[in-house]
Amino acid sequence: MLNLYHFRRVMSVRCLSGNAFLLAGSLLIGLVTGSVPTAQGADGRYTGKQGEVIVVKVPVDDSATRVQGKFLGRPISFFPDTRLEEPKGFVGLLGIDLQDEPGTHELIVELKTAEESRTLRYSVSIVKGKFHVEHLTLPKDKVDLDEKSVARWKAEQEQVKAALATDSQSKLWQPGFVEPVSGRRTGIFGSMRIMNGQARNPHNGEDIGAPLGTAVAATNDGMVRLTVDHIFSGKGVFLDHGLGLYSMYFHLSEILVKDGDQVKAGQIIGKVGSTGRATGPHLHWGAKLNGARVNPYALLDLPFKGAVQSAAPVPVTQPASGVGSPAP
C-alpha cells in the first residue's frame, strides 16, 4: 500500500509539472506570435457622457502607419496629429451617442504598417447624461401622420440614408468650429419630447432661436452632401466634414448652396426659417459622428484651435457610417 501510494504521488507531481511546462510553453509561443490578447483598457482609459465627443490619442511615431478603430460596432477614423504642442501620433474622434448604454465599453484600435500589425485596447466609460423633458403642443397633422405622410417620411429617410451611405475618406474640417447662428437655445440636445401628450424620440440636435431670414453659417469646411425639403426637418442642408463627421441645418427659409458644393467655415449656406415641423423661426443644428448622435456644441470644445493643420485633406480608408434623417 505504501509503494502504491508513493507511486501515485510521484505520478501526480510529474503530471502537474508537465502541465505547467505546457502552459509556460504555450504562453511563450503566444508572446512570440502576438496571439495573447491584451486586457481591456490595458492601453488607456477614457470617460465621457452621452452626446459628448472624446479625443483619443494613439502614440505612433511612424506616419506611414494605418490606424483604424471600432467602438460599439461603429468605425472610428484616425488621422495624424500635427499640433505642434502635442507629441507625434494619431487622433480619432469618438462620438458617444445620446442613447449609448452607460457603463464600460471597449475601443479596439488596429495599427498596421507594411511589416507588422498590432492591436490596442482602450476602456471607455459612458456616463448617463442629464436630459430635460419638453412638452410641446403642435397641430394634430404634424404629430399624428396619415398613411400618405408616413410613406413620404419613410421615403425621405431612405433618401438621406442613400446619400450618406459612403463617408468622405478625407478629413475636410480644419481647426476651429464655429456656431452657425447666434441666438437663444430653445431646444436642448437630448431632451425627451412630449408632443401633444405623446412621448417621442429624444431631440438629437440643438434649436437656436433667431429672427426669420438670419444668415446661417457652415460650422466648418466640408462638402454639401444633400439639400432637402422634408416633412419634419423642412428645408435643410447636410454637410460632410469627412471621416464620418456630418453637420445638419434644418427648418431653413432659404438654401443658398447646392449638392456637391465645397464650403468653408463661416460661409453662409442658408437662412433661418420655420419650414417643416416647427413652431417658429429657429435653426435646428445637428451633428453625427460615425453614426453617433452628438451634441453639436461639443465640436466647439475640440482641442483643435491653433493654426490650420493642413490645407490638403488627409486620406483614410474606412467603412461608411450610417446617418439617418430625424425621426418623428
pLDDT digits (tens, 9 = 90+) for 16-67: 444 443 333 433 333 333 444 556 678 999 999 999 999 999 988 877 789 9
Helices and strands per DSSP (H, E), number in the chain: 4, 20
Question: 274 with 251: CB under 8 angstroms?
Answer: yes
The answer to whether 287 touches 177, Cβ cutoff 8 Å, is no
pLDDT of residue 129: 82
Reduce the DSSP state of residue 308 to 3 states and report it.
Answer: coil
Q: Check residue 140 and give its pLDDT.
A: 67
Which candidate, 262, 207, 272, places its Cα nearest to that of 239? Answer: 262
Helix H or strand E encompassing 30: helix 2-33
pLDDT given at position 142: 63
Alpha helices in 108-205 (DSSP H): 140-143, 147-163
pLDDT at 9: 46
Residues of the chain with pLDDT below 50 are 1-2, 4-36, 307-328
Q: Whole-angstrom Cα distance, residue 306 to residue 85? A: 10
122 has which bridge partners?
107
Is 0.85 surpassed by the pTM of this model? Answer: no
pLDDT score at 143:
66
